[in-house]
Amino acid sequence: MTRSSERFPRSVYSVGDEPDARFTLANERTFLAWIRTALALLAGGVALDLLGLDLHPGLRLAASLTLVVAGIVLPLFGWLSWAGTERALRRGDPLPGSWLGAFLGGAVTLAGVLLVLAILLR
């Protein structure tokens, strides 16, 4: 059986006690949901650029880049959120708040505004 201090990442698993597996697995599912969302953002950004829609080219590119950059950054933020939540679970501390929703909402809103402008200015 593997000891907690031998699991990756050690900075998470060497802290506190093993929590109820249901909470750890729920935290992991949340992380995987952020990964799926990041993949969707990447696909949307690439598709928006490659489809060559009859939109203002500069604004279309800006919207595409906004989605791609958000898709690149989101997994890192998701990992950091997963680690913080797992540490809190292991210590028995209150769960930390998450600003990932605000980040994602801001990125999608910005891309949407850029697309509206691209449609209006074509």
User: How much is the pLDDT for 6?
Assistant: 80
Report the percent of the chain where pLDDT is more than 90: 92
pLDDT per residue as tens digits for the range 8-54:
999 999 999 999 999 999 999 999 999 999 999 999 999 999 998 89
Domain residue ranges of the chain, discontinuous segments joined by +: 30-120
Q: Which of 55, 43, 51, 41 is nearest to 111 (CA)?
A: 41
pLDDT per residue as tens digits for the range 50-86:
998 899 999 999 999 999 999 999 999 999 999 999 9
> Which pTM was predicted?
0.89
